[in-house]
Amino acid sequence: MKIVTIVGARPQFIKAAAVARKLKSQSGITEVLVHTGQHYDDNMSEVFFQELEIPKPDYHLGIGSSSHGAQTGRMLEAIEQVLLKELPDWVLVYGDTNSTLAGAIAAVKLHIPVAHVEAGLRSFNPQMPEEINRVLTDHAANLLFAPTTAAVENLQREGIPQEKVHLVGDVMYDASLDYAVKAEAKSQILSQLKLTPQNYILATIHRAENTDNPEKLQAIFQAFTKVAQTIPVILPLHPRTRAALQRAEINPTSHIQLIDPVGYLDMVMLEKNAKIIATDSGGVQKEAFFYRVPCVTLRTETEWIELVELGWNRLVPPLNTQDIASSLLDALGKITNHEIPDGIYGGGLATSKIVSLLTQDN
């Protein structure tokens, strides 16, 4: 049995690493790894392959950055050539990036079955490119691996046949269990940045809805500057955000500690030891919960509604400086001690269930 796995962005490397380890333990399975090049900066790509011990990609397409249409089109063309050569039994895609959609379309056009990890998530915001990617991928896929009951219900409402949909849990949770201990042993990021646990805010900003809106971007960084007078704010700066700050002529003050993007193990340590996390990332919202760190999400909606319902996450539309700063300062003073349901996100068994479903007919 041959599986072609398509990845291109940081969260996909983490998820693919967890599934790849499980696939490797099965006899008679060959996995061919295709890296589209969507994240091409070494700090966003190469370091993850090293730290997560992911084999070097069999194909590195080197697509790089471009407009959504151009990038997706170039990926589609290049992935099609790989699939024609490899003729796999399955194409495995992850999440909601342009790499995800391109992989799914290329496979479907060649009548190759598609499996989608992290299916059924919805923000219900059609302005988000990620929302379009995940909806189209779900409706093209043959196997849909949903991380939550809410995701399953979304797919049911959209009329996707029940036999295609499987509640497996969240692969990111499996990865967090695998790598937390390793991060403790290997990462030196806290000492390098002279940070003490529970005495800083970790922030990440990269969504197009924030970076491409100068008013929102200004409000976010002004709020971080204000809050940083009370507690240090550490922000690994995504290349998209750095470019957006330059375009908008926003110069963050020295109160905010801007650092280059970090590897996964360093990010785990920064997340685990933060007082709170402020983010617009879907993956970081979950990782905050995995490590039981309160999270403020700077968006109008989230795909992970259960985290809001459980009280671990609060949504703050990034519309003005005062609201953002007040929400962050308020979160600092709250003690989060909410009940956590048993087995949420699959209890660490998502990868096992995915591999079992992929191989059950072979």
Q: How far apart are CA 202 and CA 187, in angstroms?
A: 16
The predicted pLDDT at position 252 comes to 83
Instruction: Provide φ and ψ at 277, rounded to 5°.
Output: -120, 135
**pTM (predicted TM-score):** 0.84
Q: Which of 206, 238, 255, 338 is catalytic?
A: 206
Distance between CA atoms of 83 and 318, rounded to whole angstroms?
A: 42
Q: Within the chain, what is the greatest distance between any pair of CA atoms?
A: 59
Dihedral (CA of 253, 243, 247, 130) sign? negative
CB-based contact 146:119 (threshold 8 Å): yes
List pLDDT tens digits, range 8-48: 988 898 899 899 999 998 999 999 999 998 765 555 556 66
> Which of 210, 207, 208, 230 shows the shortest CA–CA distance to 220?
210
Q: Which DSSP symbol is given to 336?
A: P
CA dihedral sign, ordered 210, 253, 287, 293: negative
SS3 state of residue 303: coil
Give the pLDDT score at 255. 80
Which residues of the chain are modeled with pLDDT < 70?
A: 39-48, 335-338, 361-362
- At residue 40, the pLDDT reads 56
Stated as kind and residue range, the H or E segment containing 34 is strand 30-35
* Beta partners for residue 6, in sequence order: 34, 93
In the prediction, which pLDDT does 52 show?
75
Of the candidates 57, 59, 54, the one whose C-alpha atom is nearest the C-alpha of residue 85 is 59
Q: Which helix (H) or strand (E) holds 116?
A: strand 114-117
Round to whole Å and give the CA distance between 306 and 361: 33
Q: What is the CA radius of gyration of the chain?
A: 20
Determine whether 206 is an active site residue. Answer: yes
Paired residues of 230 in beta bridges: none
What's the rounded Cα separation, in Å, for the pair 111 and 289? 39
Give the side-chain half-sphere CA count within 13 A for 143.
Answer: 23
**Torsional sign, CA 48, 51, 52, 56:** positive
